[in-house]
Amino acid sequence: MNSNIEFLNPDQLLKNPAFSQVAITTGNGRTIYIGGQNAITNDLEIIGKGNITLQTEYALKNIETALQACGATLDDLFKLTIYIVQGQDLRKGFEGAQSFLRKLSNPPVISSIIVTGLANPDYLVEIEAVAFRRDDT
C-alpha cells in the first residue's frame, strides 16, 4: 500500500497560499509528533530575546532538526500549531516563518493561538508540528 498526505482546500473555505485547511494521511508510514519548540539552543541559550521574528525562525529551525533526527524531511510536515504571546506583532512572527514556509512543497495545516505566556517569560512563540513519514516499502 502506498503512503500519502493529501492537502485539501475546499471551495467553501478560505484559500490562502500560506496554509492548507485539511491534511489527510493514508497508507503505511509513521506519524511524528514534535513537541513545542522555542528559540532555545541545546546549551539553553535563548535566541532573539524580545524579537519574535528571530524566535520564530529559530523555533522552526528546531522543528527541522527534529524531523531530520526522525529520518523525515520538511515534505513530511503537514501540521503546525503556533502559540504566540499576547501583544506580539503577528506580522513580524510571520516574517520569521517565510524562509521556512518557502521550503515546503505544500503549505501545512496551521492553527495559531494567542496565549498570556509560555514556560519561560523570554519565550515569545512556541511551535508544535506533526509529520507523516511514508514507509520506504
Residue 114 lies in a domain: yes
Residue 11 lies in a domain: no
CATH number of the domain enclosing 59: 3.30.1330.40
Residue 24 lies in a domain: no
Q: In the 8-state DSSP scheme, what is residue 74? A: G
Q: Copy the grid coordinates of residue 11.
A: 471551495
Question: CA separation (Å) from 134 to 7, 26, 41, 110, 112?
Answer: 15, 9, 29, 21, 27
Q: Does the pLDDT value for residue 67 go beyond 80?
A: yes
Residue 44 lies in a domain: yes
What is the number of domains present in the chain?
A: 1
Q: Does the pLDDT value for residue 1 go beyond 50?
A: no
Is 23 within 8 Å of 5 (Cβ atoms)? yes
The pLDDT tens digits for 7-36 are 777 788 778 887 777 777 888 888 898 989
Residue 37 lies in a domain: yes
The pLDDT tens digits for 77-122 are 999 999 999 999 999 999 999 999 888 888 899 999 999 999 999 9
Residue type, 91: R
Residue range(s) defining the domain that contains residue 72: 30-132
Of the candidates 136, 114, 111, the one whose C-alpha atom is nearest the C-alpha of residue 124 is 114
Q: Which pTM does this prediction carry?
A: 0.84
Residue 1 lies in a domain: no
Residue 48 lies in a domain: yes
Alpha-helical (H) ranges within the chain are: 52-69, 90-102
Residue 21 lies in a domain: no
